[in-house]
Structure 1
Amino acid sequence: MLRASSSDLSASQTQTLISDQDLLEFVLNIEYLSAEYFLYGAYGRGLDATAPELTKGGPPPIGGRKANLDPLLQDIFTQFALMNVGHLRAIYGAVKGFPEPLLNISTGVFGQLVDAALGQNLSSPFDVYANPLNFLLGADIMSYFTPVACVGITPQLQNANYKSSIFICRDAPIPPYNVKVSDFTDRISDFANRLGKEGIKSEGIVVPQSEGAEGKTTGNVIAGDKDSLAFERTQRGILRIIYGTGNEHFPGSFFPNGANGRIARSFLP
């Protein structure tokens, strides 16, 4: 659940509390990112071609392209793409919003995140659009780097649909790297936790049984706390992650110029 806390208020906001509209608009950033990733992967084109009115005049993302998907994942990610378009429409039914921020969904950004998470520069850079497994893993990366759940939008459950596919191939190696799928998800989730600086809020698809649901399973398709409730992050923590910098004041990664909306812009230098 996305919540505002006193620690999320900058000096300029201490006089004016964060409103429900501010929180909804903060979520728009995440929905834009998810929509563009799945639209490009499924269709090879983004919101500017699919639902241009929802971009509010914002720029098209950098580096998006059609993913090499098998028929099953093509269908699944087409559904995710259209679902995110619907989320944007629903939010815009409640708030004024803002132009879509500049997004970077290029293979370079995903490659940098994977290198940082694995602690090495891979000899063959990770290409998120190259094959079904890579795009599936890219969706998993997105689930760790877009940790928001509110106003009827529940990525925790939605993500379970493709996480189930990842879980099935958890012991498979990721070619051409000597890394198993389960180890990959562990390292990405650990990296997101390090960036967020708020403790363990992300988990891989396999965990020690003591950390699984009711302490009875090692499978972790739907990650959550001891009561299987979705982990919470502050706006500061979310910005640290989606910027890939570990600092809410310095944009980068998926948001090279920063996220939009009053909350996100208040943290920019």
Structure 2
Amino acid sequence: MAASVSSSGAFIYLFFILLLFSSPRTSLSLLQSDVDLLEFPLNLEYLEAEFFLWGSLGEGLDAVAPELTMGGPPPIGARKADLDPLLCDIVAQLAYQEVGHLRAIKEKVKGFPRPLLDLSPGNFAKTMNSAVGRALLPPFDPYANGINYLLASYLLPYVGLTGYVGANPNLQSSVAKRLVAGLLAVESAQDAVIRALLYERGGVKVKPYDITVAEFTDEISELRNKLGGAGLKDEGLVVPPALGAEGKIAGNVIAGDECSVAYARSPEEILRIVYGDGSESKPGGFFPDGADGRIARGFLHNFTTIDILKQ
């Protein structure tokens, strides 16, 4: 009888241990540094989710998944894009994937409310003007047609995926590493889809600017390299063959280093790009009031990522 009770007690103990480790909410078991590194990408996931939702459906998180906004302000200037049925379907798929990413991260960490996002045509126009080095007339409108929307989309997932690559070596727990690996896989696929659709149209002139699609991507990538301030981590759709895969091909439908390994960016570099002015401590661009989370807020006080993660 005693042996039976002992066996029963051991079974109950094992059950609760398994229940604990199978729980989807594991923020209490994560180091603060892992929490910070998982929360930071929420800024980009909010940005992508809203842009793709509005572009394809004409409505954003407030309609699709209001609980994920945590009461944060609605984006500025977002609207439905003029897309053909195929492209609209693809963008809608990307949109719902981004909603899933928000859910996945918030199952592990508390997160923060949606920050104020500027998705207005004027903000995209300013970015494209900076990329090409002159004021485009008429101003670039990301929602005007499919090519414009794809070019605007080129701005987003790639920045996020380089951030996941950069974060992975600094994560401590297997839970955090598994999540980031899964997010990185889908963000990379999204970027590949966008780049492939643009590559197919690489020689097409973007009306009325007399600039080809491939030239636009090159200019955008150069701008991100400049703003990031950390050398070559971004490449357009066509590169000198020496920079292509194995140094043998100019087509560059998927970007990577000399061994075709994805580039990594730090939180500082990402904020310099999405703020649009090359500084991680000066909000602007897509984040008029700044990004959120301990890492992004720390830069406003001139801390470094290392300083923040050590706190």
Q: Could you tell me the TM-score, scaled by structure 1's length? A: 0.91
Matched, 1:148 2:163: yes
Matched, 1:66 2:98: no
Match of 2:242? 210
CA contact (8 A) 1:144 1:189 kept: no
2:128 is paired with a residue whose SS is helix
Instruction: Summarize the alignment of residues 83-232 of structure 1 with structure 2, pairs less than 5 Å apart.
Output: 83-146=97-160, 147-149=162-164, 151=180, 152-154=182-184, 155-232=187-264
Match of 2:39? 25
Q: Report the RMSD for the aligned CA atoms in angstroms.
A: 1.3
Number of residue equivalences: 253
Unaligned runs of 5+ in 2: 1-30, 166-179, 302-311
1:148 is paired with a residue whose SS is helix
Matched, 1:246 2:260: no
Match of 1:3? none
- Aligned partner of 2:137: which letter? S
Matched, 1:75 2:124: no
2:197 is paired with a residue whose SS is helix
Q: Could you tell me the TM-score, scaled by structure 2's length? A: 0.79
1:149 positional shift = 2.6
The structure richer in helix per residue is: 2
- Aligned partner of 1:205: which letter? L
2:156 is paired with a residue whose SS is helix
Instruction: Summarize the alignment of residues 25-64 of structure 1 with structure 2, pairs less than 5 Å apart.
Output: 25-64=39-78
Distance in 2 (CA, whole Å) between partners of 1:102 and 1:110 is: 15
- Aligned partner of 1:237: which letter? E
Higher relative contact order (CA 8 A, sep 6+): 1
Percent of matched pairs sharing the same residue: 54
Unaligned runs of 5+ in 1: 1-16
CA contact (8 A) 2:163 2:266 kept: no
Structure index of larger Rg: 2
- Between 1:207-216 and 1:145-154, the stretch displaced more is 145-154
- Aligned partner of 1:29: which letter? N
Deviations for 1:149-191, whole angstroms, at most 9, x for unmatched residues?
3502122232111211100110110000010111110111000
